[in-house]
Amino acid sequence: HFLHNLIFRAWRAYVCQQQGKRNAYYIAESHGKYKKDSNYFGGILRWELPEKMFAQNLSFECVCAFTSFTLGQCNAFSTSWSVWRRRCCQICTGRKMNILALQHWAQSLQFRAWLQWRDLYLKGQNDKQKETRAVAHHVHGELKRCMEAWLEYVNICREKKRQNELAREHHQVKVIRQRFSDWRLSWECRRRVHAHQKDLEKLSARITLWRIFARWKHCIRFLCSHQQGQVKSITAGEGSVTDVILRVEETLRCELAEKHHRHHLLYFLLLQKFGFKGLQQNVVNSHLNQMRKNLSFHQHRVTVLKKFWNCWKSRLEEKEEQQQQALTSMAHTHYRYVDKYSHIFVQI
């Protein structure tokens, strides 16, 4: 528009200038025609005047002088006329050349405007192609970014699943090892308890035998000392009656001692049978209570550990889900954005 405005202003100025020149040429041409007519009529008068003079029988010298004067004026008029004609031809040729120059200038302006329009059109087409390429590149970039985010999400899910499986396997192996170690400890404890019980039984049997032997030895010593005292009293006694009485008493005492010894052995046997069994049962009960306490403590520890493990795993899963939720939201936004621009790109 600016270029056409400049062309119109230049053309209007040129037209005004040519109109001014054309008016000046018209004025000059009318003035020349007036001069020509006036000179022509003056020449006619001048030629008619010598003829009249010749008809009036004037002298020949006067007629020749007058004719020479008129011919000189006619020659001067012809030279001026030729000059004026040459100037008119030059002006016409200049006007034609100006018209041709104006046409050539207008054509050059049109050609320049067409070249500028073509440059602008090609530039616009290049800009459109660049824009379409940029949109396609942006869409491909967004698709690539979404694909990378999706692959990262899939890899994170796979890694999370693998870590959960490894954690589950590790937990199972740990529980199995813990149970096996508990079973082995309980078995070792039972084996030690049984060995200790056998040692206690052997020790109790040895103590019982030692006590029985000590009692028997003490009784033998007592009987021997008592018999020696009886022998001394018999030697100092009165006769065979006392000897018989002493023997009867000795036999009674021996029977009483033997009976007492049997009762004592029976008492020790009963004590060994029932008291050691009670002691053994008490020891077994105490060991069983200790094992129950250990198992309950271990079970409580396992339950607490499992509870904390589940709590930690749930919190870790919540954090990962929050992170994955942010990634999924970003992926959804990218997908919507890419879907929108892909429709635009397909329409283009």
Higher local confidence (pLDDT), 285 or 231: 285
Same domain, 290 and 334: yes
Cα separation of the two ends of the chain: 30
Higher local confidence (pLDDT), 7 or 114: 114
- Whether 134 maps to a domain, the answer reads no
Same domain, 279 and 207: yes
Same domain, 70 and 182: no
| Confidence check: pLDDT of 124 > 80 | yes
- Whether 133 maps to a domain, the answer reads no
Q: pLDDT-derived band of residue 75, with 50, 70 and 90 as boundaries?
A: low
What whole-number percentage of the chain has pLDDT above 90?
1
Contact at 8 Å (CB) between 272 and 204? yes
What's the pLDDT score for residue 77?
55
Same domain, 206 and 253: yes
| Confidence check: pLDDT of 263 > 70 | no
Same domain, 150 and 194: yes
| Confidence check: pLDDT of 2 > 50 | yes
Same domain, 198 and 315: yes
The Cα 25–Cα 95 span in angstroms is 11
The Cα 237–Cα 249 span in angstroms is 15
| Confidence check: pLDDT of 231 > 50 | no
- Whether 130 maps to a domain, the answer reads no
pTM, full prediction: 0.31
Last residue of a domain, one of 125, 152, 170: 125
Same domain, 284 and 165: yes
List the single range of 14-23, 49-58, 195-204, 334-343 with lowest mean pLDDT: 49-58
Contact at 8 Å (CB) between 84 and 32? yes
- The total number of structural domains in the chain stands at 2
pLDDT digits (tens, 9 = 90+) for 154-213: 888 888 888 888 888 888 888 888 878 878 887 887 888 787 778 777 777 777 777 666
What's the pLDDT score for residue 63?
47
Last residue of a domain, one of 125, 153, 170: 125
Domain with 120, as residue range(s), is 2-125
- Whether 131 maps to a domain, the answer reads no
Last residue of a domain, one of 74, 97, 125: 125
- Whether 162 maps to a domain, the answer reads yes
Same domain, 43 and 76: yes
Same domain, 68 and 175: no
